[in-house]
Structure 1
Amino acid sequence: MQDYYYCLTYLHLVALGQGGHKPCVQAFGADQFDRQDTKEYKSKSSFFNWWYFFMSSGILVSLLVLTYIQDNLSWSLGFGIPCIMMICALIIFLLGSKKYRYSVKREGNNALLRITRVFVAAFRNWRFTPSSIASEEEGRGTVPHQSYEQFKFLNNALLTTDGSKEDQKVCTFRDVEEAKAVLRLIPIWTTCLGYAIVFPQSSTFFVKQAATMDRSISPGFEIPAASLESFSSISMILCIAIYDRLFVPVARALTRKPSGISMLQRIGTGMFLSAVSIAFAALVEMKRLEIAQESGLVNEPNVTVPMSVWWLVPSYVLFGVADVFTMVGLQEIFYDQVPSDLKSVGLSLYLSIFGVGKFLSSFLISVIEKATGGIGCYSWFNNNLNRAHLDYFYWILAALSVVELIMYMYYTRFYIYSRDERI
């Protein structure tokens, strides 16, 4: 029992460390690039690519090296090596303290208070129409007409309670634009939940499928089922290098965009590849069940199905490539499109997509389990996969991905970039 509490404490410490590290490390790294410098502005987009590149490399080393050490040598050594690496990384990070750039915050209230004040003021003045302010400010070029027309109800925050304009407005146009920028991200956050629901399957059900298939490479040697995840990491590493060094320069020459294609286009591409990946996984599972039926293995869950595990590799590869597009794109847009005071909060919102997505995935599995696993019935997630129907579940996820992608494409038609980039 004491060991259980020790383990629980360690897990909570890991969660606490990740909660402080993950949302801040990318924001802090991207803050080192000057938006006013053309060369550095282009490099900022590459930063997110290479950050994910090295993170994927670390995951790959963990899958191939640390899992071997833990399984064959020592768990203490398997945990000790990452501990030493983290200490070295912390020392290197601290050595650069005097060289780092720190973003300058706006004077006055923080961004969360400013945005909250905009919504409160807009609700208080919902009866009025600030047309006179619109005409004056558009004439000055303070705010684009297109931006002003979107979420018009927030423009009422520019008025006092009697509908007149003050010399010193409590909410400025910049405050309103910040609130609109955050509000524009909500449809992106919502429509990407479908991608986040599909995301956990590669590390759960794919591994369970692989354990039932022929994993032999040579007589007496089988690939560990969990090690197949390394194909996702390998595809991420290769795809990021190709994307950043080949695709972006070519696309930049054609589109004149610093990042080659827009952030929204990048995210949508990954969502499409994710849908293709889970659909292909469904086809592979259908074939696996067919072979199990033909081989008389329906009631033999511990016998290897005579189907090569390599059929799962394309799905792993597509998942890895999809991550390069969608996850890196989400990191960039949730950093770039929020007020300067909220960079780490924006990246926390990006991370929350996958946290909520995993909860929704678990909820969906629980509902389907109860609906299909009645008395005398075999659940879609039966422990005997030869009696289960993961293919049906994958088709549901594929359909969900397509619906989410269509909704995403619809909402992004009306998205207005909050800075110098436009669709």
Structure 2
Amino acid sequence: MAGGQRFGSLNKPCVLLIVIAGIERFVFKGVASNLVIYLTDVMDMSNSAAARTVNSWCGFTSMLPLLVAPLVDSYWNPVNRGNSSSSSSMFLSLYLISLGQGGYNPSLQAFGADQIDTDDELPTAKSDQKSDKKSMFFQWWYFGICSGSLLGVSIMPNIQDTVGWGLGFAMPAMAMVISMVMFSCGSRFYSYSHDQSNDFKSLEKVVQALKCSVSKFVHHKTQEKSTIIELELEDKPLCLKGENGTESLGDQKSNNSNRLVKIAKVIIRLLPIWTTLLMFAVIFQLPVTFFIKQGMTMKRNIGENYKIPPATLQSAITISIILLMPFYDTIFIPFTRFILRNEKGITTMQRIAIGMFLSVIAMIFAATVEMKRLETSTESESATLSIFWLLPQYILLGISDIFTVVGMQEFFYSAVPNGMRTMGIALYTSVFGVGSFLSALMVYLVEYFTSSAGGKGNWFSDDMKEARLDKYYWLLAGTSVVSLVVFVVLCRFQKTSPVDVEQS
């Protein structure tokens, strides 16, 4: 992969964690890939309501790591149909999945990348080798989760559509149990690192600092300095000891405040780039929502008895990634090195920009195909346009993922200090979380402003002959172009080196 290296050069913990991540993607995609069909066909939701539900759930799932990441960084390695009851049970199940993924996803990926820090490397080339290996790790990580996604979107929709939803949801549960066993079995290989110098990472120490501040405030006007010192000596947890004795309250408060300010600066510095990536995340949600509803109205027969579940076309995304990922390293990067006279080929930011551009092209294809589908559906009562007309938009999104998603992972991981690696991954996942909520909001607004009297006739009409998804796709293409232009402008001013929060 990166730098001419191969998968075998990764250590055992990295390989195992990549496999576990692939199983997790199989589980998640086994539930998410066909969920919109479950909501419309089993739970009797409208197309727009189902899309908003899926987007909101995906958004919550992706946003939760931002809440969990500080905990992970603090304790890095201590050791019937449509009725209210079934609806409540369904939402409870979905958000339990979100809760589990909130801690699982960012911590597992950051933990895997940190395994590389322990590799034996030549002192003269330590930084370059480590950078190359981490770049390779992120690419193989994405290859692993794409392989799991491929199995999830290929196998589970067929089981759910032909056998039943019970088995279709039970199989992902069993696969997750297997991944937990594998993770436990590999514990003796893992390298555990906990930087004790980063006091701000420990919640106990934050609480202790607050106690110190409160104690100082309460006793400032009522007790003499000797009394405060006596209190500190009696209650050791109030203040922390360094190598040379107990730190003063003022010094510790100042150090913690300085570190928190530097952390805030890191996040604020990344927010402009983070914001421009939201439209890519909005487009990212389409394969599990409206693309599927398009496919349901198209010709899906293979032979006399089998109909392709539209959700399985998501496999085109992962297949294109799996097939083209090696092409990226063996052909594309050497070619760009030759053309640009740059040892790295293209930068991380250029990689993200190329993927964003490809997502715009995907939307143009999607809008064109939808216009063709509407034209043929008005001319014939039965579906005449093959579902395979949707393949180009899926493939283009897969290619765009190779560039943008991998680039985002590497950018957010590398642009934060060492003590915030999990937060960096959480910032990356939060792009898709907020993007999902933004997608749900856009669906709501478009439905509101395009509905005729009585709430009918909007772009997301349940009657797909009246729906105008093509206009929605053109809207997404236009807004994505604006985001891309702003992203390119911001990249000229973006500094990628993290702020050093480990020095006071």
Shorter-chain TM-score above 0.5: yes
Q: CA shift at 1:108, angstroms? A: 4.6
C-alpha distance after superposition, 1:283-339 (max 9, x if no partner): 11122222233x1x5xx5xx32x2222221100101111112111111111111111
Out of 113, 123, 129, the residue aligned to residue 39 of structure 1 is 129
Which residue in 2 is equivalent to 1:311?
389
Cα 1:79–1:395 change in 2 (3 A) is closer
Cα 1:111–1:275 change in 2 (3 A) is farther
Give the aligned residue type for 1:205. Answer: F
Q: CA shift at 1:37, angstroms? A: 5.0
Which residue in 2 is equivalent to 1:227?
312
1:107 correspondence with 2:202: no
SS of 1:374's equivalent in the other structure is coil
Report the aligned-residue RMSD: 3.0
Moved more, 38-47 or 307-316: 38-47
Out of 184, 197, 201, the residue aligned to residue 94 of structure 1 is 184
Q: CA shift at 1:271, angstroms? A: 0.6
Out of 292, 298, 303, the residue aligned to residue 207 of structure 1 is 292
Counterpart Cα distance in 2 of 1:221 and 1:171? 63
SS of 2:459's equivalent in the other structure is coil
Cα 1:329–1:370 change in 2 (3 A) is same
Q: CA shift at 1:112, angstroms? A: 10
1:385 correspondence with 2:464: yes
Which residue in 2 is equivalent to 1:256?
343
Out of 300, 308, 327, the residue aligned to residue 242 of structure 1 is 327
Counterpart Cα distance in 1 of 2:198 and 2:332? 42
Q: CA shift at 1:227, angstroms? A: 1.5
Which residue in 1 is equivalent to 2:38?
none
Out of 348, 364, 373, the residue aligned to residue 426 of structure 2 is 348
Moved more, 73-82 or 364-373: 73-82
Cα 1:212–1:74 change in 2 (3 A) is closer
Which residue in 2 is equivalent to 1:218?
303
Unaligned runs of 5+ in 1: 117-165
Q: CA shift at 1:215, angstroms? A: 2.0
Out of 393, 398, 422, the residue aligned to residue 320 of structure 1 is 398
Q: CA shift at 1:173, angstroms? A: 9.8
Unaligned runs of 5+ in 2: 1-83, 119-125, 207-250, 500-504
Alignment of 1:29-178 (within 5 A): 29-34=112-117, 36-73=126-163, 75-105=165-195, 107-110=197-200
Cα 1:190–1:266 change in 2 (3 A) is same
Q: CA shift at 1:87, angstroms? A: 2.9
SS of 1:307's equivalent in the other structure is coil
Counterpart Cα distance in 2 of 1:34 and 1:279? 43
Which residue in 1 is equivalent to 2:276?
191
Which residue in 2 is equivalent to 1:23?
106
Cα 1:405–1:245 change in 2 (3 A) is same
- Contact 1:50/1:240 (<8 A) preserved: no
Moved more, 178-187 or 346-355: 178-187
SS of 1:32's equivalent in the other structure is helix
TM-score (norm 1): 0.76
Give the aligned residue type for 2:290. Answer: F
| Amino-acid identity (%) | 42
Out of 277, 280, 299, the residue aligned to residue 362 of structure 2 is 277
Which residue in 2 is equivalent to 1:148?
none
Q: CA shift at 1:278, angstroms? A: 0.6
- Contact 2:292/2:310 (<8 A) preserved: yes
Task: Count matched residues.
Answer: 359
Q: CA shift at 1:98, angstroms? A: 3.0
Cα 1:201–1:416 change in 2 (3 A) is same
Counterpart Cα distance in 1 of 2:268 and 2:337? 29
TM-score (norm 2): 0.65
